[in-house]
Amino acid sequence: MNNVQPLDFDKLSNEKIRILENVKEMVLSTSAKDRVTSRVVSCSCHGTKIYFLSWSHHTKCLQILENPYVAFCHETLQMEGIASIKGNPLDPENSIYADKYKCKQAKLFDTFTKFDGMVLIEVDIKLITSFPVTEKEYFLDRIDFDQKIAYRTHMRKA
């Protein structure tokens, strides 16, 4: 049986959020109608929110419209969240979201928002799973943002 140990939610979540603050690209996975797709997106992370741009007709947006549950990965971090298509990043009602993307991805924002059909997507992270590894032991850390709990599962080597 695996050993589960409670962790300090605030400490662990702040540690992972600090890592994400500097991330500018991640793999995004979306799914609909029994089809899962993944691709790298340029993003801007702010706390438990991730922002990225896409054309509204691209597969990721069409899948998000049908199923807003998405996943990201970056190195040993896996994130699950709920996506919301905010719409045109240049619309005044989206300025707060657009500013968050633009502050870390200014060049991409200025380049791609000139195209018709460009939309801004916000993802609210619900779960982060990470895999810290030492020479002697493997761990599986989970942070549940809805329940505000964090815990570590110690994985035994065979």
**Is residue 152 included in any domain, yes or no?**
no
| Total-model pTM | 0.94
pLDDT at 135: 72
**Is residue 140 included in any domain, yes or no?**
no
**Is residue 75 included in any domain, yes or no?**
yes
Q: What is the dihedral sign for C-alpha 4, 19, 73, 85?
A: positive
144 and 126 Cβ atoms separated by less than 8 Å:
yes
pLDDT (tens digit per residue) in 29-72: 999 999 999 999 999 999 999 999 999 999 999 999 999 999 99
pLDDT at 132: 78
For residue 20, pLDDT over 90 is answered with: yes
pLDDT at 136: 75
pLDDT (tens digit per residue) in 77-94: 999 999 999 999 999 999
**Is residue 45 included in any domain, yes or no?**
yes
**Is residue 151 included in any domain, yes or no?**
no
DSSP 134-148: -SS-EEEEEEETTTT
**Is residue 39 included in any domain, yes or no?**
yes
pLDDT at 1: 44
Lowest-pLDDT range of 30-39, 112-121, 128-137: 128-137
25 and 40 Cβ atoms separated by less than 8 Å:
yes
**Is residue 141 included in any domain, yes or no?**
no
Residue 39 main-chain phi, psi, to 5 deg: -160, 160
**Is residue 37 included in any domain, yes or no?**
yes
Q: Which range marks the domain in which residue 41 is found?
A: 10-131
Q: What is the dihedral sign for C-alpha 56, 62, 68, 71?
A: negative
Report how many domains make up the chain.
1
Band (pLDDT 50/70/90 cuts) for residue 3 is confident
CATH number at residue 59: 2.30.110.10
